[in-house]
Amino acid sequence: MAKKKEVKSLSEVTVRFAGDSGDGMQLTGTQFSDTTALFGNDLNTLPDYPAEIRAPAGTLYGVSGFQLHFSSSDIYTPGDNPDVLVAMNPAALKINLKDLKPSATIIVNIDSFDAKNLKLASYASNPLEDDSLQGFNVIPVPITSLTAAALEGSPLSTKEVTRCKNFFALGMMYWLYGRPIEATLSWINQKFSKKPEIASANAKALKSGYFYGETTEVFATSYTVEPAPLPKGTYRNISGNQATAYGLAAASVKSGLPLFLGSYPITPASDILHELSKLKNFGIKTFQAEDEIAGITSAIGASYAGSLAVTTTSGPGLALKTEAVGLAIMTELPLVIVDVQRGGPSTGLPTKTEQADLMQAIYGRNGEAPLPVIAASTPSDCFYMAIEACRLATKYMTPVILLTDGYLANGSEPWRIPHVEELQEIKVKQRTEKEGFYPYSRDENLARPWAVPGTPGLEHRIGGLEKSHIYGNVSYEHENHDFMVRMRAQKIKNIENDIPDLEVRFEQEGDLLVLGWGGTYGAITEAVLCARKEGLKVSQAHLKYLNPFPKNTAEVLKKFKTVLVPEINLGQLSRILRAEFLVPVVNFNKMKGLPFKASEIEAEIMNLLGGKQ
């Protein structure tokens, strides 16, 4: 009979699961997140996996990790430095050690610390036996052999049994943080309903891990992290890509337009295609095209025919779509382009995050080719920004680029689910009146009429050649081109009257404003809150509209002595701000394929305000 163990209460914890890419770490992390979300904590996650699908086992470059930060109060980031590392092999230990808090707990699977794996991880000696882990609270657990022992008599092969070890580790972690195992048990039963032997083995491994924590002396203490006091409502955990897909589906319902997605698989955007492909009962048509160009051009063809048309991609794909984006601008057809940014240039770092497509999105086309560019700031915000992209596209008859990034796409957070009636309607006019119809006449928003094939009496021709104002015939007239170029620019510029002002959090003027955009929202928010706790006067603003900017942007910028702009690029927004508003802004940049840590930004704030670092 086990002694009653001590239970300590914590306000927040950051955990990282790490192992081979075949060890199921993403799944383990996702399960822990879902259970933690169900438990009522606020949380934020950072999956980090290699580009190779199954890199050779035991290698440093094959390590896959999943970090999550959960708390009894609001949190904004996946946590800077883990309090706990679960390392399934020496490579996972080696890669992740440098990120840990000085006194972090390390749970290691000692079964994998054999000569071969140590060598693969380039360890000259076993770190568990020398003093290289001094200061850490190392908990060695023979996870592989304990799993095998628990599953003795199972009909599964040795290899299959070994693969259950991640559930053993998960069970142990559930016990350690006082989480119930039921949600994962029912997930296992559902997931492996067709393979009952595997279901029961995984379930058994999970329970054994849990009981191992409870009954053995290995862990002296377990922890609780109380639920966070979130606003009232029904919640679910949601990733950025799923939120984007749901936002697009919602926009289709709210606009009454059928959704057409033309897309080509690309990391890290493919999950949007996957999600929407499941939703055929919404009448959604997904077309997996032969290439990126056909992805967008099929969407343009569908938009021409009256659908709510979308293409989803990442940076290299956006580059390929460039010419077609110009066509949509020239023919003034509504289109939503989602760019889930990843590390570039070229193939770059497909599975890592970056914000370096901003210039490409705003300027990357031949000719004067403006379009609205908007960006989501958190995983769940992708839902609302996807709807917003659809609203702008159909209202102004223009392609719109929605920027998200790998961190938002794969990261997740609890989301208070909105009811359908809370969502804004998207009013769309498709022209049917014959009287006075001209393809390039304009309404009060400077949008041309959307006259879709099939409408009697409105037969007309559009195309990529410059068209005459109002009548829409091919025109090489100098004056007309000058007029039309300015008209298209004005149409986009006017959108500033239709979007919210840039909001400043805390002092409305002062010494320092931290201004970000996109996926850096969480890290900046946490950094600013921490700095303010230290007594520093620092304000925060976050741009969700990058083109056009909110109308009050210039005004906001001028109210602060210093504007700090942290970006995961070499200063793209900073350049645009300087060019547009003639204000000096201070860059803060990092390009490691990773999101900012809040502490990095906080240090920069301290630095600028002359505080201690």
Return the residues of window 129-188 that contact another protein according to CB under 8 A: 183
Among residues 299, 310, 402, 528, which is the contact residue for another protein, using CB under 8 A? 299
Residue 8 CB, shortest distance to another protein, in Å, is 24
- Does 279 bind another protein (CB under 8 A)? Our answer is yes
Among residues 17, 113, 123, 260, which is the contact residue for another protein, using CB under 8 A? 260
Counting Cα atoms < 13 Å in the Cβ hemisphere of 469 gives 14
Q: Give 129 or 421: the residue with its C-beta nearer to another protein.
A: 421
Among residues 123, 175, 177, 246, which is the contact residue for another protein, using CB under 8 A? 246
Pairing of the two strands 510-517 and 539-543 = parallel
Q: Give 415 or 588: the residue with its C-beta nearer to another protein.
A: 415
Among residues 280, 427, 558, 592, which is the contact residue for another protein, using CB under 8 A? 280
Among residues 168, 287, 384, 545, which is the contact residue for another protein, using CB under 8 A? 287
- Does 303 bind another protein (CB under 8 A)? Our answer is yes
CA 414 to chain centre: 13
Residue 494 has a CB neighbour count (10 Å cut-off) of 15
Spatial contact of 355 and 518, defined as CB atoms under 8 Å apart:
yes
Residue 341 CB, shortest distance to another protein, in Å, is 25
Within 189-228, the residues that bind another protein by CB under 8 A are: 227
Q: Give 331 or 355: the residue with its C-beta nearer to another protein.
A: 331
Nearest to 312 by CA among 372, 355, 266: 266
Got the DSSP string for 40-71?
Answer: T-EEEEEEE--SSSSPPTT-STTEEEEEEEEE
Q: Give 332 or 604: the residue with its C-beta nearer to another protein.
A: 332
- Does 44 bind another protein (CB under 8 A)? Our answer is no
Axis crossing angle, helix 25-39 with helix 165-176, rounded to the nearest 10: 30
> Is 74 strand, coil or helix?
coil
Q: Which helix (H) or strand (E) holds 127?
A: none
Which two structure tokens, joined as six digits, stand for 268? 């890290």
Q: How far apart are CA 328 and CA 339, in angstroms?
A: 16
Spatial contact of 418 and 381, defined as CB atoms under 8 Å apart:
no
Pairing of the two strands 221-225 and 285-288 = unpaired
How many residues lie near another protein (CB under 8 A)? 72
- Does 530 bind another protein (CB under 8 A)? Our answer is no
Which two structure tokens, joined as six digits, stand for 505? 């959090």
Residue 388 CB, shortest distance to another protein, in Å, is 17
> Is 230 strand, coil or helix?
coil
- Does 554 bind another protein (CB under 8 A)? Our answer is no
Q: Give 234 or 346: the residue with its C-beta nearer to another protein.
A: 234
Q: How far apart are CA 397 and CA 154, in angstroms?
A: 61
- Does 36 bind another protein (CB under 8 A)? Our answer is no
- Does 283 bind another protein (CB under 8 A)? Our answer is yes
Within 313-342, the residues that bind another protein by CB under 8 A are: 323-324, 326-327, 331
Q: Which helix (H) or strand (E) holds 215?
A: helix 196-215
Among residues 13, 55, 87, 289, which is the contact residue for another protein, using CB under 8 A? 289
In the chain the first and final C-alpha atoms are separated, in Å, by: 50
Q: Give 42 or 339: the residue with its C-beta nearer to another protein.
A: 42
Residue 43 CB, shortest distance to another protein, in Å, is 12
Within 223-242, the residues that bind another protein by CB under 8 A are: 227, 230-237
- Does 434 bind another protein (CB under 8 A)? Our answer is no
Q: Give 2 or 470: the residue with its C-beta nearer to another protein.
A: 470
Within 446-465, the residues that bind another protein by CB under 8 A are: 452-465
Q: Who contacts 380 (Cβ-Cβ below 8 Å, separation ≥6)?
A: 238, 243, 413, 415
Q: Give 454 or 610: the residue with its C-beta nearer to another protein.
A: 454
